[in-house]
Amino acid sequence: MTDALVFDQVRIVLAGRALIALDRKISPGEVLTVMGPSGIGKSTLLAYAAGFLDPAFSAQGRVLSGPLDLTRLPPHRRRLGLLFQDPLLFPHMNVGENIAFALPADLRGRERRGAAVAAALADVDLAGFEARDPATLSGGQKARVALMRVLESRPRALLLDEPFSRLDAALRDQIRRLVFDKARARGLPVLLVTHDRADAEAAAGPVLDFGSPSAADQPAASAASDCSRP
């Protein structure tokens, strides 16, 4: 079982102006949705957790996985699985290589790694797609490869940055369900950042809405405590 993902008094500041703040725990298998208009630092919050804070911003607080303080680790040791709006499959690798790149190095042997890649692809109905160039995939196929890639890196948690917004409506529902099902099946804590209400509903977890009028006035201090705690 995985550990909970804890945001311990995390605050994002841009040029002295407090943006978003988050102080809570996301249990394994739970999806916490953060909503709000653009510009309040939702994506920056994810970037801070993953270790890619733009130097224009500053941030305080810790992000923990169980007892482990991730903020003290370099980005590549945090193992927080990121999914963006774009699938960002590496264009110079084929589909199989994209997934193999994510497999932990301690899984050894060409055959075993190949089998793991094949199983991952089969898991999302893409069996036999190893040699395909990502550029030849449809939007839904890319999204599925991106999902399996992040899961095969055995992340401690998932950080989703509006990952469904570029998909068309029919596909969006399907991929959304797939992502949440897989995350729950693996007991991963998930932080979802979105401005699509339907995302929040599909996530079926707690929602922090930083767009509500009371929160918009003083986003930093009050928003997190205002919102629905389970």
Partner 1 sequence: MLKLAPALTLTLMLGPVAAGLFGTLLPAAGYVPALGGTAMSREPLRLLLGQPGIGQSALLSLGTGLAATLGAFTVVVLFTAAFEGSRFFRLLRRLLSPLMAVPHAAAAFGLAFLIAPSGFVMRLLSPWATGLQRPPDLLIVGDPLGLTMTLGLMAKEIPFLFLMLLAALPQADPLRSQRVAASLGYAPVAGWLTTVLPRVYPQIRLPVFAVLAYATSVVDVALILGPTTPPPLAVRLTGWMNDPDLSLRFMASAGALAQLGLSLFAILLWICGERLAAMLGRRWIEGGRRSAAERLIPALSGSAMALLATAMLAGLALLALWSLAGPWRFPDTLPHHLTLRAWMVHGPAAGDAIATTLAIALPVIAVAIALALACLENETRDGRPVQHRSLPLLYLPLIVPQIAFLFGLQILFLMAGLHDTLLAVALGHMVFVLPYVFLALSDPWRAVDPRYGHMASALGASPARSFWRVRLPLARKAVATAAALGFAVSVAQYLPTLLIGGGRVSTVTTEAVALAAGGNRQLIGLYGLLQMLLPFAAFLLAAAIPGVAHRRRADGEAAA
Closest to partner 1 by CB, 16 or 55: 55
- Alpha-helix runs per DSSP H in 68-138: 75-78, 95-102, 110-123
By C-alpha distance, which of 186, 189, 176 is closest to 65? Answer: 189
Taking the C-alpha atoms of residue 123 and residue 230, their distance in angstroms, rounded to an integer, is 32
Binding string, residues 210-229; x marks residues near partner 1 by CB under 8 A: --------------------
Taking the C-alpha atoms of residue 100 and residue 37, their distance in angstroms, rounded to an integer, is 36
52 scored as a contact of partner 1 (CB under 8 A)? yes
How many other CB atoms are found less than 10 A from the CB of residue 4?
Answer: 17
72 scored as a contact of partner 1 (CB under 8 A)? no
170 scored as a contact of partner 1 (CB under 8 A)? no
Interface with partner 1 in residues 85-104 (CB under 8 A): 86, 88, 90-92, 94, 101-102, 104
Residue reference for tokens 């917004």: 165
81 scored as a contact of partner 1 (CB under 8 A)? yes
User: Where does this chain touch partner 1 (CB under 8 A) — which range of 22-30, 31-39, 128-136, 176-184?
Assistant: 128-136
Question: E strand or H helix at 169, and its extent?
Answer: helix 169-185
Structure tokens at 33: 């949705």
Residues that bind partner 1 (CB under 8 A): 47, 50-52, 54-55, 74-82, 84, 86, 88, 90-92, 94, 101-102, 104, 128, 131-133, 135-136, 149-150, 153, 155
